[in-house]
């Protein structure tokens, strides 16, 4: 689509995202405003044990004031490779490492207003780390639980798993490994 950005305001430079407001003009001469949350992206891991169980984390999410099930995930550091981010986040949040990582897909979470892209990886050959979880202060309440993959799909259908990245990752893993 063709348009001209007449003015750009950076309203907020944050830890997680920046908020940008663009004032644009279409070829017709009509103006509009576009609000964009600029996010560096992230990586998501579907950790699957040899027996087919999936490792999920359970954590409190401040914006929705709820504890929910999720796949391990995290924000990319500046210039960080998504697979390295996936490995780091899985080890920190779960206390496990994996022998193999396979990229399943990447997707934009909310392209109507946000630049966030998430890279989803299937992790297999899991081994528990002697050091255990390495949680940040805001993650101190994270617990881990194992579920058979088929059960996670049932938890999605019953709305016990409601996180978008987790739903995408679990369905792709189920398709990949059966």
Residue of 113, 118, 107, 24 lying closest to 74 (CA atoms)? 118
Q: What pLDDT was estimated at residue 95? A: 94
Helix (H) or strand (E) holding 123: strand 117-128
Are residues 91 and 130 located together in one domain of the fold?
A: yes
Residue 142 confidence (pLDDT) above 90: no
User: Same domain, yes or no, for 164 and 143?
Assistant: yes
Q: What is the per-residue pLDDT for 154? A: 97
47 and 34 within one domain: no
What pTM was computed for the model? 0.91
Please give the residue that has the higher pLDDT: either 131 or 19.
19
CATH number at residue 66: 3.90.79.10
Strands of 16-116 (E only): list them: 18-25, 31-38, 42-47, 53-61, 66-70, 73-75, 96-108
pLDDT over 80 at 1, yes or no: no
Catalytic residues: 137
Range of the domain at 153: 42-177
Are 58 and 145 spatial neighbours (Cβ–Cβ below 8 Å)?
yes
Per-residue pLDDT, averaged over 30-44, amounts to 96
Question: 107 and 26, same structural domain?
Answer: no
Residues 98 and 137 in one domain: yes
């Amino acid at each position: 689509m063709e348009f001209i950005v007449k003015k750009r305001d950076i309203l907020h430079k944050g830890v997680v995202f920046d908020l940008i407001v663009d004032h644009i003009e279409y070829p017709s001469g009509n103006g509009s405003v576009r609000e964009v949350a600029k996010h560096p992206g992230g990586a998501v891991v579907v950790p699957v044990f040899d027996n087919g169980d999936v490792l999920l984390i359970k954590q409190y999410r401040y914006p929705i004031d709820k504890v929910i099930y999720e796949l391990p995930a995290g924000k990319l550091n500046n210039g960080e490779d998504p697979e390295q981010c996936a490995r780091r986040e899985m080890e920190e949040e779960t206390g496990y490492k994996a022998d193999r990582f396979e990229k399943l897909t990447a997707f934009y979470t909310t392209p109507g207003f946000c630049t966030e892209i998430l890279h989803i990886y299937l992790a297999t050959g899991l081994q528990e780390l002697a050091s255990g979880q390495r949680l940040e202060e805001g993650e101190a309440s994270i617990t881990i639980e194992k579920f058979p993959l088929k059960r996670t799909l049932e938890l999605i259908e019953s709305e016990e798993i409601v996180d978008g990245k987790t739903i995408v990752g679990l369905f792709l893993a189920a398709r990949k490994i059966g």
